[in-house]
Amino acid sequence: MALLDVEDLSVTFARRGQRTVRAVDGVSFSVDAGEVVGLVGESGCGKSVTSLAIMGLLPKQPGLQVAGKAVFDGTDLLQIDERSRRDIRGRDVAMIFQDPLSSLNPVVPIGLQVTEVLTRHRGMRGEAASKEAAQLLDRVGIPDPKRRLKEYPHQLSGGMRQRALIAMAVACQPRLLIADEPTTALDVTIQAQILELLKDLVRDSGTALVMITHDLGVVAGMCDTINVLYGGRVVETARRRPLFRQPRHPYTVGLLGSVPRLDAGRGERLNPIPGSVRDLLPWPDGCAFAPRCDRRVDACLGEPPELVLTHDGRSYRCVNPAPLPGLTSGDEVRAAVPGQATPGSVPAQAVPDEPPAVPGLAAAPSEEETP
C-alpha cells in the first residue's frame, strides 16, 4: 500500500457575493515509501493548495471546503481532529516552504526554532536538545552549527536559511516530506546545492518526498514519478523518463516545449503556451486546458475527459493525446491491452530510443533512474 494516497481531493473557497473558486478539483495521486514524487504545474494550478490541504494548514476561513481523502499510513488526514493532526505534523509528515526568510520567525533564534520541534515530538530539552539541533544543522551542511544556533534568521544567508528550515523538517525523521517550491526563492547556484541536499537526505533516510515545483529542471533531476497539474486536476502521471520522452497530454507537451533550449538557433523564439492559466474552462464543461490547446477537437468540450490508464502505468486525461512516435492511435489501443506488460515496466515498443519528443530535455532524464 502506498504511504500517502490522495484521492479525489478538492478544495473550494466560497465567498459571499463572489463566484466560488475551485482551487483543487479532484486531485488524486499516491506516494510510496521512499519515493520522490513531483507535482508540476504553472502558478495557480493548485499545487500549493493541495499540499496545504494535506497538511491541514489552509487558513481557516468561512467558506473553505476540503473534500476527498488523503490517507497517510492508513489514517485519513482530512478526517482526524486537530489534536492528532498536530501530533502527525512535524513528526511523520513535515514540510519545507518556498521563501526561507519569511518562513522563519525573525525574532526567535535558529536554535530554538529547531529545538522546539525536538521538544514537541521527541521530548528533548535543554542540553540534549541543543546538541541534537547542532547535529541536525551540521547534517544539512551549516558550518559552525553551535554558533549558528544562537543567531537569528536575518544573520544567515538565503541558502543557510533554507538549510535551517530543512533541518527543522527532518528533525524527527518524518516518513513523508513535502517540499513546496523549495528552491524558487534562491540563487541558481544555491538551488542546485539545496536539491543535492534534499536528494541526499531522502536517499539516506528513506523518507518519501513530494516535490512541488513549476521548474521542470527540478523534477528532471529528482523525481521518480511526476504528476502534472492543470486547473486543479492531475492531467498526466508518468515515471520520469517516459514523461520527458513522450509527453502525452498536450499541456505537458507545451510545458516541455516552453523550456528555453541551448541548442536552439539564435533568434529562434521561445514556445510559450498561448493564453494564461486563468483562461480555464470549468472541468464539468470539458477539458480545462481546451481554450489554450492546439490539439483541441470537438470531443474536448461538453464533459470532462476520462482518465486514460495505459499499460505502462501512465495515465493522462485527454481525448486527443499527443501521438507516440511510430504508433497510430489504433496500435496504441492494442498495445494497451492489460497483461501484455508488467505494471511499472516499460515495454520496448512504447519507448523507442530515438527521437525523444523534446530533444532539449533529453539529457537529464536519460540518466539512470535514482532509487
The footprint of other proteins (CB under 8 A) covers: 55, 57, 59, 62, 85-91, 94-95, 97, 99, 102-109, 112, 116-117, 120-121, 152, 154, 165, 168
- Please say which residue, 85 or 296, places its beta carbon nearer to other proteins: 85
Identify the CA nearest to 238 among candidates 101, 107, 83, 357. Answer: 357
DSSP string, 17-38: TSPPEEEEEEEEEEE-TT-EEE
Alpha helices, DSSP H, located in 60-109:
82-88, 100-103
- Please say which residue, 111 or 286, places its beta carbon nearer to other proteins: 111
- Please say which residue, 1 or 107, places its beta carbon nearer to other proteins: 107
Identity (one letter) of the amino acid at 88? Answer: I
- Please say which residue, 15 or 203, places its beta carbon nearer to other proteins: 15
Q: How far is the CB of 57 from other proteins (least distance, A)?
A: 6
Distance of CA 13 to the CA centre of its chain: 22
Burial of 305 from C-beta contacts in 10 A (0-12 / 13-18 / 19+): buried
Residue 212 pairs in a beta bridge with 39, 180
> Distance between CA atoms of 86 and 132, rounded to whole angstroms?
22
- Please say which residue, 135 or 155, places its beta carbon nearer to other proteins: 155
Q: How far is the CB of 120 from other proteins (least distance, A)?
A: 6
DSSP string, 328-358: -HHHHHHHT-TTSS-TTS--GGGS-SS--S-
Q: How far is the CB of 48 from other proteins (least distance, A)?
A: 11
- Please say which residue, 141 or 152, places its beta carbon nearer to other proteins: 152
- Please say which residue, 3 or 169, places its beta carbon nearer to other proteins: 169
Q: How far is the CB of 154 from other proteins (least distance, A)?
A: 5
> Distance between CA atoms of 169 and 135, rounded to whole angstroms?
14
Q: How far is the CB of 105 from other proteins (least distance, A)?
A: 4
For residue 244, what is the DSSP state? H
Q: How far is the CB of 117 from other proteins (least distance, A)?
A: 5
- Please say which residue, 92 or 332, places its beta carbon nearer to other proteins: 92
Q: How far is the CB of 232 from other proteins (least distance, A)?
A: 21
CA distance from start to end of the chain: 18
Which CA distances in Å does 186 have to 45, 74, 191, 297?
22, 36, 6, 41
Coil vs helix vs strand at 228? strand
Q: How far is the CB of 59 from other proteins (least distance, A)?
A: 8
Strand runs labelled E in 231-355: 233-239, 308-309, 315-316
